[in-house]
């Protein structure tokens, strides 16, 4: 039996780690979780995501500096171990593991919600089980196959969200959805802070959840080709793009229909799907529901 230590393949390019991180970040926190935030914070959700994006950017810049200097497999848990001691490294690593166990359960639950939009008679556990098996098999693939599949699947997510933003701008400019569509909806119904600053403050934790996934850049550092060059580019470009996607999509959503007139359906459906259904554009609602189902699957 060979006693050689297995070597990392370092096959991930800049495009791979950027799209993997963006694909991991753009998911439930925005598409489904924003319903609760909109009800509690109103249009100020936009400012909340700006604050969250700034915090995420600063954290990733600092983490990026460390992983460029020392691209290791343990990422931030390794740095906690190295600089703060064994217990900190142990606690950080297991905390992250528990976090993602809970995140996976959240994402799978969301998949059940999206499938029930079309087939309410299908038990949620059935769709959850199917997605769980498929995603598990995908994650067991080798690095190159995993990277390429995640790249193209995440590319679909990015193209789709850009298309949604463009379509929303078109609806605003052409007024095809009636008199309710206007950018004044961002402040005309109770102001930009309809529940005061407290409503925004209480929702910040939920907003930060939406940025979870961008740290995958650091997790992939040890498998990255030329990390000194690619990691800084990935950190800067990924965080900024995710930030812009969130802000633009939410601003358009809340401009099309006033936030207090948006029927959120018990907060268990995507506001992005419901808003197009409420406007009578059923084909867009079905398309977005299909897209979001795939998005959440790719986040896993």
**Domain map of the chain by residue range?**
15-74+141-299
Q: For residue 273, what are its two tokens?
A: 């799907």
Provide the pLDDT confidence category of residue 94 given band limits of 50, 70 and 90. Answer: very high
pLDDT (tens digit, 9 = 90+) per residue, 28-87?
A: 767 777 777 888 888 998 998 888 888 888 888 888 888 888 777 777 888 889 889 999
What does each C-alpha distance from 220 to 99, 134, 164 come to in angstroms? 18, 22, 29
Distance CA 37, CA 151 (A): 30
Level-2 CATH architecture, domain 15-74+141-299: Up-down Bundle (1.20)
Give the pLDDT score at 2.
47
Taking residue 121's Cβ as centre, other Cβ atoms within 10 Å add up to 5
pLDDT at 87: 92
Q: Which candidate, 271, 264, 278, places its Cα nearest to that of 292?
A: 271
User: Looking at per-residue confidence, does 135 or 93 come out higher?
Assistant: 93
* Total H helices, total E strands in the chain: 13, 0
What digits encode the pLDDT tens for the residues 168-213?
888 888 865 556 778 888 998 888 998 888 888 888 888 888 887 7
Cβ(12)–Cβ(223) under 8 Å? yes
What secondary structure letter does DSSP report for 42? Answer: G
Provide the percentage of residues in the chain whose pLDDT is more than 90: 4
DSSP of the chain: ---PPPPP---B-HHHHHHHHHHHHSSHHHHTTHHHHHHHHGGGHHHHHHHHHHHHHHHHHHHHHHHHHS--TTHHHHHHHHHH-HHHHHHHHHHHHHHHHHHHHHHHHHHHHHHHHH-TTS-HHHHHHHHHHHHHHHHTS-HHHHHHHHHHHHHHHHHHHHHHHHHHHHHHHHTTT-TT--GGGGTTTT-SSTTHHHHHHHHHHHHHHTTTTTTHHHHTGGGBSSHHHHHHHHHHHHHHHHHHHHHHHHHHHHHHS-GGG---GGGTS-HHHHHHHHTT-HHHHHHHHHHHHHHHHHH-
> Where do we find the tokens 């006033």?
258
Mean of the per-residue pLDDT values for the chain?
Answer: 78
């Amino acid at each position: 039996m060979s006693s050689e230590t297995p070597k990392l393949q370092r096959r991930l390019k800049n495009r791979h780690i950027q799209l993997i991180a963006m694909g991991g970040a753009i998911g439930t926190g925005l598409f489904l979780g924003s319903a609760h935030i909109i009800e509690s914070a109103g249009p100020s959700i936009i400012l909340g995501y700006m604050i969250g994006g700034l915090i995420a950017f600063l954290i990733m810049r600092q983490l990026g500096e460390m992983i460029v200097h020392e691209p290791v497999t343990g990422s931030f848990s390794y740095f906690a171990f190295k600089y703060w001691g064994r217990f900190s490294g142990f606690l950080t690593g297991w905390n992250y593991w528990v976090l993602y166990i809970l995140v996976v359960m959240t994402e799978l639950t969301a998949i059940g919600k999206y499938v029930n939009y079309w087939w309410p008679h299908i038990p949620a556990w059935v769709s959850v089980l199917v997605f769980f098996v498929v995603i598990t098999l995908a994650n067991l693939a080798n690095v190159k196959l995993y990277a390429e599949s995640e790249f193209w699947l995440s590319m679909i997510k990015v193209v789709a969200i850009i298309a949604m933003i463009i379509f929303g701008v078109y609806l605003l400019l052409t007024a095809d959805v009636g008199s309710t569509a206007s950018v004044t909806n961002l402040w005309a119904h109770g102001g930009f802070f309809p529940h005061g600053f407290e409503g925004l403050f209480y929702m910040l934790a939920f907003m930060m959840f939406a940025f979870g996934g961008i740290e995958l850049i650091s997790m992939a550092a040890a498998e990255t080709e030329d990390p000194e060059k690619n990691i800084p580019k990935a950190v800067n470009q990924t965080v900024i793009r995710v930030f812009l996607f969130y802000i633009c999509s939410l601003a358009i959503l809340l401009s099309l229909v006033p936030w207090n007139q948006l029927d959120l359906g018990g907060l268990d459906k995507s506001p992005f799907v419901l808003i197009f259904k409420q406007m009578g554009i059923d084909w867009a609602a079905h398309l977005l529901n299909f897209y979001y189902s795939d998005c959440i699957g790719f986040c896993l």
